[in-house]
C-alpha cells in the first residue's frame, strides 16, 4: 500500500511538472489536422472556407508546413528578375485530405508564364473561360489564371509587367456544372489576390475579392 501511494505521489509530481514546463514555454501542442480556415497560409479563412470544403469534398486536412504566400512571392520576384520568359512553379500549398489515401492532393501553385501561353482561347469540352486577369479558365478538376503585376518590388515591371500564372489542380471532381467551375475559379482567384497584395501589385493586378464569375460566351 505504501509503495502504491508513493508511486501515485510521484506520478502527480511529474504530471504537474510537465504542465508547468508547457505553461512556462508558452507553447501548446498543435493538432495533426486543421480546418479549411488554416490551409494555404490562411488564405481562405472566413466566407471562403465553405468553398474550399466544396472543391475538396472535405472538412479536415493534415497540418502541413507549406510554402506560404511570402515564399511564393519571393520566388516570383526572383523569376521576374531573371529576365527569362518563364520560370518553374512553386507551390503555395497542398490540401491533403484527412484519411483519404491514394488521392491526388489539391494543390495551388504559381509561376512566371511565357507571353505565348495566353491569347489562344478556343472552345474546349469541359472548359469554361472567364474574364479574370489576362486569361482564366476552369474545369471540373481545377482552374488557372494568368495576370500581370506592376510593382515597386519588381524592378522594371512598370515597363515589363511580371506575368504570373496561378493554378489550382486536383480538385474533387463534382462534374462540370457551371457552379462547380465557378467554385474552382473562386479558389484560384482568392489565392492569386493574396499573392498580388503581398507583391503590392498595382490595382492588385486587376483582381478583386468578389470577382465577376460570369463565363465568357
* pLDDT tens string 70-90: 999 999 999 999 999 999 889
Mean pLDDT of the 163-177 span = 97
Q: How far apart are the first and last CA of the chain?
A: 84
Please choose, from the candidates 80, 214, 46, the residue with its C-alpha nearest in 3D space to the C-alpha of residue 152. Answer: 80
| H or E stretch covering 190 | helix 178-198
Residue range 189-206, pLDDT digits in tens: 999 999 999 999 999 999
Please choose, from the candidates 192, 141, 185, 130, the residue with its C-alpha nearest in 3D space to the C-alpha of residue 163. Answer: 192
Coil, strand or helix: which one is 120? coil
Taking the model in full, what pTM does it have?
0.84
pLDDT of residue 28: 58
The better pLDDT of the pair 190, 125 is held by: 190
Residue range 54-65, pLDDT digits in tens: 999 999 999 987
E runs forming strands in 89-210: 90-95, 106-112, 128-130, 135-139, 142-149, 162-169
Buried b (16+ CB within 10 A) or exposed e, 169-200: bbbbebeeeeebbbbbbbbbbbbbbbbbebbe
The better pLDDT of the pair 216, 29 is held by: 216
Q: Please give the DSSP secondary-structure letter assigned to residue 31.
A: P
Backbone angles phi, psi at 202, to 5 degrees: -60, 125
Helix orientation angle between 178-198 and 49-56, rounded to the nearest 10 degrees = 130
Amino acid at each position: 500500500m505504501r509503495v502504491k501511494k508513493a508511486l501515485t505521489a510521484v506520478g502527480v509530481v511529474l504530471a504537474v511538472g510537465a504542465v508547468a514546463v508547457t505553461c512556462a514555454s508558452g507553447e501548446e501542442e498543435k493538432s495533426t489536422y486543421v480546418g479549411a480556415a488554416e490551409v494555404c497560409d490562411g488564405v481562405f479563412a472566413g466566407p471562403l472556407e465553405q468553398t474550399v470544403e466544396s472543391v475538396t469534398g472535405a472538412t479536415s486536412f493534415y497540418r502541413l508546413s507549406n510554402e506560404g504566400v511570402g515564399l511564393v512571392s519571393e520566388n516570383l520576384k526572383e523569376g521576374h528578375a531573371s529576365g527569362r520568359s518563364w520560370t518553374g512553379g512553386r507551390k503555395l500549398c497542398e490540401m491533403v485530405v484527412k484519411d483519404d489515401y491514394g488521392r491526388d492532393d489539391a494543390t495551388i501553385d504559381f509561376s512566371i508564364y511565357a507571353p505565348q501561353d495566353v491569347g489562344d482561347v478556343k472552345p474546349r469540352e469541359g472548359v469554361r473561360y472567364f474574364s479574370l486577369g489576362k486569361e482564366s479558365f476552369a474545369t471540373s478538376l481545377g482552374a488557372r489564371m494568368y495576370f500581370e503585376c506592376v510593382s515597386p518590388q519588381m524592378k522594371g515591371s512598370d515597363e515589363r509587367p511580371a506575368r504570373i500564372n496561378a493554378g489550382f489542380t486536383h480538385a474533387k471532381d463534382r462534374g462540370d456544372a457551371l457552379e462547380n467551375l465557378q467554385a474552382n475559379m473562386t479558389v484560384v482567384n482568392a489565392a492569386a489576390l493574396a499573392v498580388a497584395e503581398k507583391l503590392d501589385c498595382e490595382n492588385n493586378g486587376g483582381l478583386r475579392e468578389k470577382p465577376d464569375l460570369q463565363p465568357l460566351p
